Amino acid sequence: MFVVDDFKKFARYFRQYKLQLAIGIACILASTAFGLFIPFFVGKAIDANWTEVSWTRLTISAGKVLAASIISGTFLFLQRRILIGISRNVEYDMRKEFYEHLVGQPLSFFHDHRTGDLMARATSDLSAVRQLAGPMIMYTLQTVFVVILVLPLMFILNWWLTLLLFVTMPLVSLTVKYFGQQVHARFEKIQEFFADIMARQGLYPDGPSKPCVMGYEVAGVVESVGEGVDQSIVGVPVVAMTRFRGQSEKVVVAERQLFEKPESLSFEQAAAIPVNYLTAYALLVAMGGLRAKESVLIHNAGGGVGLAALDIAKKIGATTYGTASP
């Protein structure tokens, strides 16, 4: 029921573009249909079993293929122009509505919601909606029309080969799903450990010489302390800066690099804070001297350091402006 309600909310943005949408869908059908004539004409020419080849016959066959290609390409151009144009209009309408909604919110709303999260929704999330509204509709309908038009012809030509093709299709789908998940998982890890990867490649200025253990920040429980250190912190959940070696099972750090973990944060969340927030603090406060009622422009505000900078600037009482790529 939740998905259906969301779809109805999304579909209302297409109401004012119903005519363009219908024309775009018709262009998809026409492009697909005329595109199928190309292999049909080529097959007819091959199966003709010409006893002698003449320029006239070759010209006629080539002309049919060329004409089908031009007509199919024309409808392909129209469908892309119309449907992608609709998707950009829908994105504009949603962004305008989102902005109008934000303007009407009280100040407490912006205290309760991270500015970076709101910016991410206004940029990358709405760009993803544009992909859903345009290319996804276009490619999905192309696939549906191809199946509807081609499948009966395939069974007429050779039902045995058609069934054999369907036997292999689940294998292709499973392979694409498996490798797609692997790519996504590894991409996420790369984003999480960007500094570590640069250090492994020798591109990080302060990186240790190899072989070494990567990891700049950790979160865990204190197991033991050295001489002269307060024994009461044993067993306390903490966050620590390690300057590499953080991916070890156990690490040794100086007491001054240790911070008690807030109960509201998980170990994973806490471990993501030190480098981002200390970097942002060093740039904004230690070097920039940001003060209350001043204004600051934060580039890449949707990234880790950017989100941290927005939080720090908000805490100081500064006015924030940010840029983010979709």
Q: What pLDDT, on a 0 to 100 scale, did the predictor assign at position 172?
A: 82
Q: What residues does CATH 1.20.1560.10 cover in the chain?
A: 2-157
pLDDT of 233 above 90: no
∠ CA 326-188-88 to the nearest 5 degrees?
20
pLDDT of 249 above 90: no
Instruction: Share the mean pLDDT of the chain.
Output: 82
In DSSP notation, 245-309 reads -TTSSS----GGGEEEPPTTS-HHHHHTSHHHHHHHHIIIIIIT---TT-EEEETTTTSHHHHHH
CA torsion 174-178-183-186 (nearest 10°) is: 170
Fold of domain 2-157: ABC transporter transmembrane region fold (1.20.1560)
pLDDT digit string (tens) for 172-190?
888 888 888 887 777 666 6
Q: What residues does CATH 3.90.180.10 cover in the chain?
A: 209-270
Q: What pLDDT, on a 0 to 100 scale, did the predictor assign at position 77?
A: 94
> For domain 209-270, is the CATH number 3.40.605.10?
no
pLDDT of 170 above 90: no
Find tokens 């920040």 and name the residue. Answer: 217
Sign of CA dihedral 74, 78, 84, 85: positive
Q: What residues does CATH 3.40.50.720 cover in the chain?
A: 273-326
- Going by pLDDT thresholds of 50, 70 and 90, the confidence category of residue 2 is very low
pTM: 0.53
Query: How many CA atoms lie less than 13 Å away from 130 in the CB half-sphere?
Result: 19
pLDDT of 306 above 60: yes
Q: Which comes out higher in pLDDT, residue 323 or 128? A: 323
pLDDT digit string (tens) for 264-278?
889 888 888 888 888
Catalogue the E-assigned strands of the chain: 217-221, 237-241, 258-260, 295-298, 319-322
CATH class of 273-326: alpha beta
pLDDT of 82 above 80: yes
Mean pLDDT of 90-95: 86
What would the two tokens of residue 213 be? 């253990």
